[in-house]
Amino acid sequence: MPHVQGRIVTAGRAVGAGILAFAVLVAPRARAEDGYELWLRYRPISDAEVLARYRASISEVVFEASSPMLEAAREELRRGLRGLLDAEIPFVREATREGALVVWSSRPSTLAVSPSLRAQLRWAGAEGFVIRSEPIRGRPAMVIAANTNAGVLYGVFRFLRLLQTHESLQDLSIVEAPRVELRVLNHWDNLDRTVERGYAGFSLWDWHKLPDYLYPRYTDYARANASIGVNGTVLTNVNANATVLTPEYVRKVAALADVFRRWGIRVYLTARFSAPIEIGGLETADPLVPEVATWWKDKAAEIYRVIPDFGGFLVKANSEGQPGPQDYGRSHAEGANMLADAVAPHGGVVMWRAFVYSNEEPEDRAKQAWNEFTPLDGSFRSNVLIQVKNGPIDFQPREPFHPLFGAMPQTPLMMEFQITQEYLGQATHLAFLAPLYEEVLRADTYARGEGSLVSEVIDGTLHDYPRTGMAGVANTGTDRNWCGSVMACANWYAFGRLAWDPDLGSATIADEWLRMTFTSDPNFVEPVKTMMLASREAGVDYRTPLGLHHLMARGHHWGPGPWVSGGPRADWTSVYYHRADAEGIGFDRTRTGSDAVGQYFLPLPERWGRLETVPEKYLLWFHHVPWDHRMASGRTLWEELLHRYQRGVDAVRQMQRTWRSVDGMIDPERHEQVRAFLAIQEKEARWWRDACVLYFQTFSKRPIPDGYEPPAHTLEEYMAIQERPVPGL
Ligand code: GCW
């Protein structure tokens, strides 16, 4: 009776600790809510009316499972129904009564398929599904139908979500198909189990015990991903280690692939470009040297022998010290194509990252990827996708979309979002990222005139891309709650949902996630949704308002460091980006500045390149602006900057109030974690505000007007805060 715990904990809270202690005695399996079950909790539906309706609508389930994937889907359905309906719904071989839920796991030869269902199925394609009310032998029933096992799996999770979010089962006619083909997580996980930019413990992959021991958690990881449509996972860090390509490690990878396969998830690996030297004994990794190409071909064949559905390689080359084809005077296309040829016979792909910039290059960092890649458009093999971060710098709280989107019509570009909160408060700050993803996906590139959205580049419709993809840099780890914080799991969820349907709205995603993760009680869902939706903007305000970016401390990227200068590379300092001086602040990227704005399609260079028309959210991204510049609010730039920093702190306080107001509506364990983390966030939002305002004041030389909270410390004190041991480096 897994549902018992939820009820008892609630009862215990209502009437006191005595009951709770009693509950633990009578229900030894009861345990605190710790977030482990994510959005797949399947607790009994608490709304009695809804529960009664569902019970009446689902009398039995017909689901023949003839493959591991279908078995996984069937067991998930059984588990979900048992939990949600708090009842044992019979699984039978044939529909015998009204209210059967029939899962057509293979083409139903014995049953007549109506023409409209046939049409819907055609539309559903390889991974889609149909869920509809459909009479079976004259009796009212519901069907989940698909063309493939994966479609069935996704259909089952969709059906369970209907119940989890209390949707009606009347007159169902749902047809869905993913808009993006490769929906992959990127794990920046090292073989020693540290996770670069990971704030949720260690890597999930226990290489040391693989392939002999398989944690049950591997299955739960795959279930969670399948439930949101993720169909691929890159297991290793883009700052790659060639060891993972040795036979010993490939066997370990195969063991994981065997677990994930039934959940529709393929594994990918990062390919270290110098691997032929490091583990292959060659003297060069030059992609045009035949022995090198042969080495990779053999390596690919070796991998595919044990992992027949291996997805392919993700490559970070000639970026931040990683080896690459340019070490040999070859282009990114020559490097990518050599690897693409190695995996092509097996159906694999190469995801080649466009995150390249060089300190030796005097050009504005924001321009370098575009400069490097647009001349190569059309010269990549058909199984290469170029993976582009959402913005031209690096996952900042806000960036304009990357100018490459729209600029490579002959080369599939895939999106890279960051789920882990490297620049957004890491494990503790609440930053619901769906609004960030949505802002980027809905941006208009104007590549083919007005209405050429980034989402249409990504789903392939704008340029008719033969392949499409979206990657999310994962935030998972060994923490019991997976993501370091209960709320951060919403970002994993949001990524999967948007990869499936890039048009989904943030509010819808938050709504689903809250209902599935906590409760459908509107008294909880509505205020908390509002809180989530405001959280990303709050983080922008107290860190980098008005288009500022890259103001974080060196190395760990956690706290403020607007004063960071010097060191090994100018493009790793803050002063490179904010350019504050006695006159003003901001990076002049207009025509007379670096002209990064010129990389966008018209009319954006004009709109963003002029002070009068640039949206304020991008003001200091594109312009160096005098301190006394008059803003739309009537304030000067200096005053507006202060106003935004304060607004960010105030927004966190509002989040705290909201969260206090829902105390008692959910389990105390998760409530307490969020409460404590919001308190940390409030403290650190003030730290960011005070450090930045005091530092910029040394240039503006203007007072902090009345009505603002005075900084708690001096600038010197903030600057003296030393790097602490921060995870994720
Ligand atoms: O955001 C930066 C991170 C690096 C990361 C790099 C990248 C994996 O600070 O830790 O390296 O981007 O995306 O390659």
Instruction: State how far the Cα of 323 lies from the Cα of 285, in Å rounded to an integer.
Output: 9
Q: What is the pLDDT of residue 107?
A: 60
Residue 556 CA to ligand 1 centre (angstroms): 11
Amino acid at 131: I
Based on the domain organization, do 109 and 195 belong to the same domain? Answer: no
Based on the domain organization, do 189 and 161 belong to the same domain? Answer: no
User: Average pLDDT in the 636-653 region?
Assistant: 98
Whether the pLDDT of residue 650 is over 50: the answer is yes
Q: Give the domain-ending residue among 176, 211, 242.
A: 176
In a domain, residue 524? The reply is: no
| CATH code (residue 575) | 3.90.1330.10
In a domain, residue 549? The reply is: yes
Q: Give the domain-ending residue among 147, 176, 205.
A: 176
**Residue pair 335/273 in contact by the 8 Å Cβ criterion:** yes
Question: Could you report the per-residue pLDDT of 187-237, keeping only the tens digit for each?
Answer: 999 999 999 999 999 999 999 999 999 999 999 999 999 999 999 999 999
The residue whose two tokens read 């990869």 is 499
According to DSSP, the residues that pair with 143 across neighbouring strands are 102, 132
Per annotation, catalytic residue among 37, 334, 422, 571: 422
Based on the domain organization, do 353 and 471 belong to the same domain? Answer: yes
Pocket test for ligand 1, best of 185, 188, 420 (most atoms within 8 A of CB): 188
Q: What is the pLDDT of residue 729?
A: 85
Q: How far is C-alpha 588 from the geometric centre of its chain's CA atoms?
A: 31
Based on the domain organization, do 425 and 554 belong to the same domain? Answer: no
Q: For residue 664, what are the CA distances in angstroms to 15, 47, 48, 654? A: 12, 17, 20, 18
Pocket test for ligand 1, best of 187, 196, 564 (most atoms within 8 A of CB): 196
User: Average pLDDT in the 342-362 region?
Assistant: 95
| CATH code (residue 434) | 3.20.20.80
β-pairing, 232-234 vs 266-270, is: parallel
Amino acid at 406: G
The DSSP symbol for 657 reads H
Question: Could you report the per-residue pLDDT of 600-623, keeping only the tens digit for each?
Answer: 999 999 999 999 999 999 999 999
**Residue pair 413/719 in contact by the 8 Å Cβ criterion:** no
Based on the domain organization, do 573 and 428 belong to the same domain? Answer: no
Q: Tell me what the pLDDT averaged over the chain comes to.
A: 94
Q: What is the pLDDT of residue 476?
A: 98
String of DSSP letters for 627-664: TTPBPTTS-BHHHHHHHHHHHHHHHHHHHHHHHHHTTT
Question: Could you report the per-residue pLDDT of 378-408, keeping only the tens digit for each?
Answer: 999 999 999 999 999 999 999 999 999 999 9
Find out whether the peptide bond into 140 is cis, omega within 30 degrees of 0.
no
Based on the domain organization, do 94 and 242 belong to the same domain? Answer: no
The DSSP symbol for 713 reads S
Domains in the chain, number: 3
* E strands, 408-557, in order: 413-418, 469-473
Q: Give the domain-ending residue among 154, 176, 198.
A: 176
Instruction: State how far the Cα of 350 lies from the Cα of 72, in Å rounded to an integer.
Output: 29
Q: For residue 78, what are the CA distances in angstroms to 83, 224, 279, 593? A: 8, 16, 47, 62
Instruction: State how far the Cα of 581 lies from the Cα of 571, in Å rounded to an integer.
Output: 18
Based on the domain organization, do 106 and 57 belong to the same domain? Answer: yes
Q: What is the pLDDT of residue 707?
A: 85
Whether the pLDDT of residue 498 is over 90: the answer is yes
Q: How far is C-alpha 539 from the geometric centre of its chain's CA atoms?
A: 17
Q: What is the pLDDT of residue 25?
A: 41
Query: If we measure between CA atoms, which residue out of 94, 33, 18 comes closest to residue 2?
Result: 33
Work out the percent of the chain whose per-residue pLDDT is above 70: 95
Q: Which atom of ligand 1 is nearest to the CA of 237?
A: 8
Pocket test for ligand 1, best of 355, 357, 415, 564 (most atoms within 8 A of CB): 355
In a domain, residue 85? The reply is: yes
Instruction: Indicate if 394 belongs to the active site.
Output: yes
Ramachandran angles phi, psi of 239, nearest 5°? -80, 90
Based on the domain organization, do 567 and 495 belong to the same domain? Answer: no
The residue count of the chain comes to: 729
Instruction: State how far the Cα of 457 lies from the Cα of 618, in Å rounded to an integer.
Output: 22
The residue whose two tokens read 């990657």 is 471
Closest-CA residue, ligand 1 atom 11, reads 239
Question: Could you report the per-residue pLDDT of 233-268, keeping only the tens digit for each?
Answer: 999 999 999 999 999 999 999 999 999 999 999 999
* E strands, 332-468, in order: 349-353, 384-389, 413-418
In a domain, residue 10? The reply is: no
pLDDT band at 111, cuts 50/70/90?
low
Instruction: Indicate if 320 belongs to the active site.
Output: yes
pLDDT band at 725, cuts 50/70/90?
confident
**Residue pair 640/631 in contact by the 8 Å Cβ criterion:** yes
Instruction: State how far the Cα of 281 lies from the Cα of 276, in Å rounded to an integer.
Output: 6
According to DSSP, the residues that pair with 351 across neighbouring strands are 314, 385
Whether the pLDDT of residue 367 is over 80: the answer is yes
Q: What is the pLDDT of residue 9?
A: 29
Q: How far is C-alpha 693 from the geometric centre of its chain's CA atoms?
A: 31
What residues contact residue 212 under an 8 Å CB cut-off, 6+ apart? none
User: Average pLDDT in the 630-646 region?
Assistant: 98
Q: What is the pLDDT of residue 359?
A: 83
Based on the domain organization, do 447 and 566 belong to the same domain? Answer: no
Based on the domain organization, do 259 and 375 belong to the same domain? Answer: yes
In a domain, residue 595? The reply is: no
Q: What is the pLDDT of residue 361?
A: 84
In a domain, residue 613? The reply is: no
Q: Which atom of ligand 1 is nearest to the CA of 196?
A: 10
Report the alpha-carbon angle 508-509-510, nearest 5.
95
What residues contact residue 189 under an 8 Å CB cut-off, 6+ apart? 195, 196, 198, 203, 204, 205, 235, 236, 237
Closest-CA residue, ligand 1 atom 3, reads 197
According to DSSP, the residues that pair with 449 across neighbouring strands are 447
β-pairing, 625-626 vs 584-585, is: antiparallel
| CATH code (residue 48) | 3.30.379.10
* E strands, 90-154, in order: 91-92, 100-104, 129-133, 141-145
Based on the domain organization, do 250 and 133 belong to the same domain? Answer: no
What residues contact residue 647 under an 8 Å CB cut-off, 6+ apart? 538, 541
Question: Could you report the per-residue pLDDT of 146-165, keeping only the tens digit for each?
Answer: 999 999 999 999 999 999 99
Residue 688 CA to ligand 1 centre (angstroms): 22
Per annotation, catalytic residue among 33, 364, 394, 511: 394
Question: Could you report the per-residue pLDDT of 7-63, keeping only the tens digit for each?
Answer: 232 333 333 333 333 334 444 444 679 999 999 999 999 999 999 999 999 999 999
Instruction: State how far the Cα of 189 lies from the Cα of 563, in Å rounded to an integer.
Output: 31
Based on the domain organization, do 297 and 427 belong to the same domain? Answer: yes
Q: What is the pLDDT of residue 28?
A: 41
In a domain, residue 480? The reply is: yes
Quote the domain boundaries for residue 442: 182-517
Range in 317-331, 334-348, 350-364, 577-591 the model is least confident about: 350-364
Whether the pLDDT of residue 128 is over 60: the answer is yes
The first and second tokens of residue 357, run together, are 């910039």
Q: Which atom of ligand 1 is nearest to the CA of 319?
A: 14
141-145 β-sheet, strand order: 91-92, 60-63, 100-104, 141-145, 129-133, 173-176
Protein residues whose CB sits closer than 6 Å to any atom of ligand 1: 188, 196-197, 238-239, 316, 320, 355, 394-395, 422
Range in 112-126, 577-591, 611-625 the model is least confident about: 112-126
In a domain, residue 276? The reply is: yes
Whether the pLDDT of residue 3 is over 60: the answer is no
Question: Is this model's pTM higher than 0.85 or not?
Answer: yes
Q: Which atom of ligand 1 is nearest to the CA of 238?
A: 8
